Every structure is written in C-alpha cells, then in structure tokens.
C-alpha cells in the first residue's frame, strides 16, 4: 500500500508541476505578445500580417517544462519522497 500511495503522490506532483509550468508559460507568452502589440501601436506601424513563429515556441516551451519537472523531481528526491531508482526512472521517462 505505501508503494501505491507513493506512486499516486508522485503522479499528482508531476501532473501538478506540468500544469503549473504550462500555465505560467502561457501567461508569459500572452504578456509578451500584448507588449509587442502595444509597442507596435505606439510606433504607428501597421500590424504584422504573418502569425508568430510556431516552430520555435513549442520547442522552447517543452524544454522549459522539462527543466521545471526535473527540478521538482530533484526536490522530491532530496526530501526523501523518491528513491534514487525512482528518480532515475522518472528522469528517463521525462527525457526519453
């Protein structure tokens, strides 16, 4: 039973971390786009016709999310919630 509880807790932490990182990245990206629009309107430049680059943003967002999850896993390992083997497995899943 403790192993099951640990697994459920680990899953909840990873899912919560992923959600928090995703929300933070979305808010930051929205803020940057709003700032860019305001700067363009202030300069009286016509708005751009093309959409923002979509290829680079998901890769950067995905990497940021993975880094945050690794930090969270490391913290859990340091607190003794995860064993070295569990940490290595979760890291392998995240990066693999």
Task: Give the 3-state secondary structure of residue 2.
Answer: helix
pTM (predicted TM-score): 0.40
**What ranges make up the beta strands (E) of 1-96?**
none
Instruction: Look at residues 63, 67, 69 and name the one whose alpha carbon lies nearest to residue 82.
Output: 69
Taking CA atoms, 7 is separated from 10, 20, 68, 72, 95, in Å, by 5, 20, 20, 15, 19
Task: Give the 3-state secondary structure of residue 87.
Answer: helix
pLDDT in tens, 12-38: 888 888 787 777 888 888 888 888 888
Whether the predicted pLDDT of 3 surpasses 80: no
């Amino acid at each position: 039973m403790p192993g099951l509880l640990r697994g459920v807790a680990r899953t909840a932490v990873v899912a919560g971390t992923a959600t928090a990182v995703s929300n933070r990245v979305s808010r930051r990206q929205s803020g940057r786009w709003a700032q860019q629009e305001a700067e363009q309107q202030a300069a009286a430049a016509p708005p751009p016709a093309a959409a923002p680059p979509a290829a680079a943003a998901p890769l950067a967002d995905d990497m940021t999310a993975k880094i945050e999850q690794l930090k969270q896993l490391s913290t859990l390992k340091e607190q003794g919630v995860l064993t070295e083997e569990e940490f290595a497995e979760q890291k392998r899943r995240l990066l693999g």
